[in-house]
Amino acid sequence: MLSLSYKLEDALIIGSEVYNLNLSFDNVLRIFDMLQSNDLEVFQKPYFALFMLTGETFEKYSFDDVAEFLDSILEEHIKNKEFNSLEYDLAGNLMPVQEVENEEQLYSLKYDADYIFASFFQAYNIDLIEMQGKLHWKKFNALLNGLPEDTKFMEVVKIRAYKPSKYDSPEYKEQIKKLQRQYELPVDD
């Protein structure tokens, strides 16, 4: 989470060694892609991720250590807990987020990139391509979490999150089901 009272402190500290982290949003997204890729062996991925984050090799450390370093970075600097599941009331107002096991994925930073790009430009006049290497991951997430309802990304998320109500007409339910099929996320293997 972003703190307005402190500067962003992005470093991995191992004993007396300090490794500055590159947490620009595009670098973090490339790390996600790499971690999901089948092009690398599982034991290579944490080493590549740390290299992408620090520019340093971690060959002197065991796989278990490197995996633990990466897990701590993901937990402390990268996870976005605020934007996991969105629910709306009948008037379309955002409901408080509740923790749900096996919750449905409502968005993908990869597959919804066009909607996210357009929404950032619409809401904030920010060109995310021009901000590559500049916009910090936590700032990106704060802006993503704060996107207005009238942006394309939030409209798509709202469609995906829709659950039928007994008060909805059959025509409306069918229209939303059609939109849900249109905006359905692909299944990654």
The pLDDT tens digits of the residues spanning 45-78 come to: 999 999 999 999 999 999 999 999 999 998 888 8
Instruction: Report whether 156 contacts 86 (CB < 8 A).
Output: no
Closest among 119, 78, 85, 125 to 102, alpha carbons compared? 85
User: Global pTM?
Assistant: 0.80
Query: Token digits for 187?
Result: 């299944």
**What is the DSSP secondary structure assignment for residue 94, as one 8-state letter?**
B
The full set of domain ranges for the chain reads 11-78, 83-182
How far is 41 from 127, CA to CA, in rounded Å? 35
pLDDT at 92: 40
Cα dihedral 150, 154, 160, 164, rounded to 10, equals -40
Is the pLDDT at 136 greater than 90, yes or no?
A: yes
Query: Residue 37: how many CB atoms within 10 A of its CB?
Result: 10
Is the pLDDT at 89 greater than 70, yes or no?
A: no
121 contact partners, CB below 8 Å, separation of at least 6: 127, 128
